Amino acid sequence: MKLHPLGDRLVIKMVETEETTKSGIILTGSAKEKPQVAEVIAVGPGGLVDGKEVKMELKAGDKVITNKYSGTEVKLDGEEYIIVRQSDVLAKVE
């Protein structure tokens, strides 16, 4: 199964990163704050959304930072994804 977002929506997957403290202790995912960096998995077509023309500026594979509690969480084939509007993306990580 694949997710195909509509309108100005994106399907993203949170990026799990290991974090090391200054003293060298590696923090696992459960011991740190929820990550805000995600990878774009799929991009909607954009177009006319709520009476305004929306041009999609992101593409699959981009790394982005999103609002912390935005979007709708979806579980598909054992993987967790989040569907967000492009306007919920704060920045592109390069």
pLDDT for the residue 71: 92
**Residue 60 backbone dihedrals phi, psi, to 5 degrees:** -60, 135
**CA separation for the pair 76, 44 (Å, rounded):** 18
Sign of the torsion angle spanned by Cα atoms 71, 75, 80, 86: negative
pLDDT tens for the chain, residues 1 to 94: 789 999 999 999 998 765 666 677 766 555 455 558 999 999 999 988 788 899 999 999 999 999 888 899 999 999 999 999 999 999 999 8
Helix (H, G, I), strand (E, B) or coil at 30: helix
Domains of the chain: 9-93 (2.30.33.40)
